[in-house]
Amino acid sequence: MTDSVQNFAVARNFTLAYDGNTAVDSSDLDIPVGRLTAIIGPNGSGKSTVLHALAGLIQAQSGSFQVLGGSPADSKSRMSYVMQSVAYPQGIPLSVREIVGMGRYPSRGWFGRFGASDRERIDAVMDRLAVTDLSKRHLDELSGGQRQRVYVAQGLAQDHDVLLLDEPLTGLDIVSARTIDEIIHDETDAGRTVVHTTHDLDEARAADHVVLMSNRVVAFGAPEKVLTDANLRAAYNLGGLHETTGLIVDDPHRAC
């Protein structure tokens, strides 16, 4: 079986940059198909940059970077990307249901009419994310956890084989965190690929596959092979690491 069949992403000797500044130095990377992958590392370590590259939003500056056997940009239609925050047109009072319904636009177009199957899909994902009772409310009326559930519902409303999530559980109330965590595992149980960024070692340990970042890929593979004391010291530039259950290794509220 080839890498393109076994893996969602295969990258070799790749570099990533923003505005001419290198964000990820020369690295290799494999991410398996149909499994849950966590990307973890310090603030500014390149986690979100790698996620952007997987989504086809930026291109590798050098090396090879393949997704689903080809260019990431060519695979956008098969991926749903849920960012930490989403910008919507100012002054337009979009309801929660309308925002979730935007997930159907890639299939129906901006001006396409929703059919019964579209409405059923929207109803189903809103129910899964427990936001049905918020249907007529606006984003500025919601808590942070409620907003994140709306963003994930929109992502699930989109047709996809791959779900990419940037910090989906950071800073959430326990109900929202549990709801989204269940969705993540339901997705992989259904055979879809999920990749998410995180600051939490426990979240990373619960994944099938881990990518450890520090402006390069320090290591990738099974959690027990990647999240070793030596690798974590290298990634976080620590003289020693005292493991604690639920350890969060940096401030999750800073941009990365």
Q: Mean of the pLDDT values across residues 218-233? A: 97
CATH of 3-236, one of 2.40.10.120, 3.30.450.40, 3.40.50.300, 3.30.365.10: 3.40.50.300
Cα(139)–Cα(153) distance, integer angstroms? 13
Lowest mean pLDDT among 3-12, 30-39, 69-78, 127-136: 3-12
| Terminal Cα-to-Cα distance of the chain (whole angstroms) | 35
Do strands 36-40 and 162-165 pair parallel, antiparallel, or not at all (unpaired)?
unpaired
pLDDT higher than 70, residue 26: yes
Alpha-carbon dihedral 104, 105, 106, 111, rounded to 10 degrees:
140
pLDDT of residue 74: 92
State what percent of residues in the chain have pLDDT above 90: 76
Helix 144-157 to helix 116-128 angle, to the nearest 10 degrees? 140
pTM over 0.85: yes
The tokens describing 108, both together, are 């129906």
pLDDT higher than 70, residue 148: yes
136-158 in b/e burial notation, b at 16+ Cβ within 10 A?
A: eeebeebeebbbbbbbbbbbbbb
Q: CB burial class (10 A; 0-12, 13-18, 19+) of residue 52?
A: buried
Residue by residue, DSSP assigns 206-223 as TSSEEEEESSSEEEEESH
Q: How far is CA 227 from the centre of its chain?
A: 19
* pLDDT confidence bin for 184, thresholds 50/70/90: very high
pLDDT higher than 50, residue 199: yes
Contacting residues for 58 by C-beta, under 8 A, at least 6 apart: 16, 18, 49, 52
pLDDT of residue 3: 44
Q: Mean of the pLDDT values across residues 6-12? A: 95
pLDDT higher than 50, residue 2: no
Q: Strand locations in the chain, DSSP E?
A: 7-18, 21-32, 36-40, 62-67, 79-82, 162-165, 193-198, 209-213, 217-221
CA angle 124, 179, 102 (to 5 degrees): 45
Strands ordered across the beta sheet of 7-18 = 21-32, 7-18, 62-67
pLDDT of residue 239: 65
Alpha-carbon dihedral 106, 130, 150, 37, rounded to 10 degrees:
-80
pLDDT of residue 238: 77
The overall average pLDDT reported for the chain is 88
Reported as a single tens digit per residue, the pLDDT across 73-95 is 999 999 999 987 666 666 667 89
pLDDT of residue 181: 95
* pLDDT confidence bin for 134, thresholds 50/70/90: very high
